[in-house]
Chains A and B, each alone.
Chain A
Amino acid sequence: MATLAELEARDVIFRYGSDGDEGKLAERLFFMSPRLRAWFEEDLPGLGSTWQIELSPAEQVADLIEAFCEGGELSVGRMFKCLNPKESGVWELKTADVRIFGWFYKKDCFVGHRADGAERIKTINLYPGYHGEVLRFRDGLDLDPPKFILGTDPDVVVSNFDYP
């Protein structure tokens, strides 16, 4: 069994480094699996926008994670959401064009495993598949229990949120 920090030290998971404000420590932590990191590096840069908005999907995701790590207010439903079945503790972080799937290890500590374009996910109904992949990855992690936060209330998983 290992802590999240030990898994990070062994490169089993990676921490998202956020510039944040000067001298300010991250308020929240965003970790990613090797698979998610590879998607950020290889697929995200070339992902097109369904909505043709001024921010590219890469810029949307970078900004979302930056806002997350800085402890910024997160909008329930619009920026993050618990997937069904809710008791499995799988959550998605959202931008206009991208969905990131993972779970909250502790409050304000997200571990992401898969991501994809929102349009593709909805068109092909990839939600169940990604949900399952997150569960399998999490179950296979040599992580000290409890491996995720039980609870579907946003207040349980993040601080500083609002309902639109």
Chain B
Amino acid sequence: MSSFQISITPSRRAAARFVRKVRAELQKAAVQSKASGGASQSDVARTIGVHRSVIHRELKGTSNLSLGRVAELAHALGKTPQFSLEDLPVKKGNLQTTVTVGETRAIDVSPRSSAPVQFYEVA
């Protein structure tokens, strides 16, 4: 039997994962804000100065999020983003060997980055 995986590079896999996590945090903040009587998407849009549909697309994932926009959205939702980088864990014994003409190269296959992103309430 054989399993199958869509082939994308580890760096793009890391990018997709990070984008997903950031967007999920923003979506969660937006839901919590609305549920607690805070800013709605319309309020956020007014604060930032765009149409509500722009915010909707950015939260839904059909529009890109710039770093600045992440901060704007967070602020409009009463949050501030925090960001840090961590070393990739190195998996021992997880070496792939490729053979090219005339040489053998060992490639260390490291898992993708799992840099955390968190949003904190604005003081």
Number of A-B residue pairs at CB separation under 8 A = 88
Give A86-108 as 1s and 0s: 1 = Cβ < 8 Å from B's Cβ atoms: 00000000011000000000000
- A96 and B62 in contact (CB under 8 A), knowing A15-B3, A21-B111? yes
Interface pair B15/A53, CB less than 8 Å apart: no
Picked from A15, A19, A32, A44, the residue with its CB within 8 Å of the CB of B111 is A19
Interface pair A96/B13, CB less than 8 Å apart: no
Interface pair B64/A66, CB less than 8 Å apart: no
Q: Contact size class for B?
A: 20 to 34
Picked from B8, B27, B64, B89, the residue with its CB within 8 Å of the CB of A22 is B89
Give A contacts to B, CB under 8 Å.
Answer: 8-11, 14-19, 21-22, 32, 37, 40-41, 44, 50-51, 53-55, 58-63, 65-67, 73, 75, 78, 95-96, 162-164
Give B contacts to A, CB under 8 Å.
Answer: 1-6, 8, 12-13, 15-17, 19-20, 24, 27-28, 31, 57, 60-64, 89, 91, 111-112, 114
